[in-house]
Chains A and B, each alone.
Chain A
């Protein structure tokens, strides 16, 4: 079983739609969680950290469920510019960031 698993997609959604991605992790000792965004042929960039209480940044909401060992990302009112690959990242409390393979999102006009 992979340490971090994501549905690769692609998720094709119309502009204005709400879309949600889940990511599961296998190490129950994992300490910190992030969502990164990666555009085609670009480096990953931090979208948001994921806190235990959940957090929101504009149209983006991240949730953590420790009992079920998953994190989620919700995007409301999707924009064309949201089209990208979204990477789930987990840190087990040491130094190593473990990346999921990413979920591709395409927002269609």
Chain B
């Protein structure tokens, strides 16, 4: 597609359930990022992929969070045993290789609400 696509756009889940968030980056973009934005807060870096590998997972807040990317394209972010503090907007972005001089393009995000 023309832009970064994320699904679902909204997700309400019960505390303790697992959720999967999907990101489809811009075609040809090898760099993929997940960020989290809580209400009224800035963007918090979660994880970075270059191709299928994730050289930096340092931003994942706990071992309940994991992410993978297959075929150098689609990525899924999985949150196990969700907690209320996981409620946030999860944003995915992609960028060209050698990302530091290129802007990151964002998807519209998945708004996760844990009740």
Contact = CB atoms under 8 A, between A and B. Distances in A.
Nearest to A97: B104
Contacts of B107: 43
Interface string B89-115: 001010000011101111111000000
Contacts of A95: 31, 48, 50, 55-56, 99-100
A58 interface: no
Nearest to A46: B103
Mostly, the B contact residues are: strand
A1 interface: no
How many B residues are at the interface, by size bracket? Answer: 20 to 34
A108 to B, nearest CB: 21
Contacts of B62: none
B73 to A, nearest CB: 18
A91 B33 CA distance: 13
A91 B42 contact: no
A99 B93 CA distance: 13
Interface of B: 31, 33, 35, 41-43, 45, 48, 50, 55-56, 91, 93, 99-101, 103-109
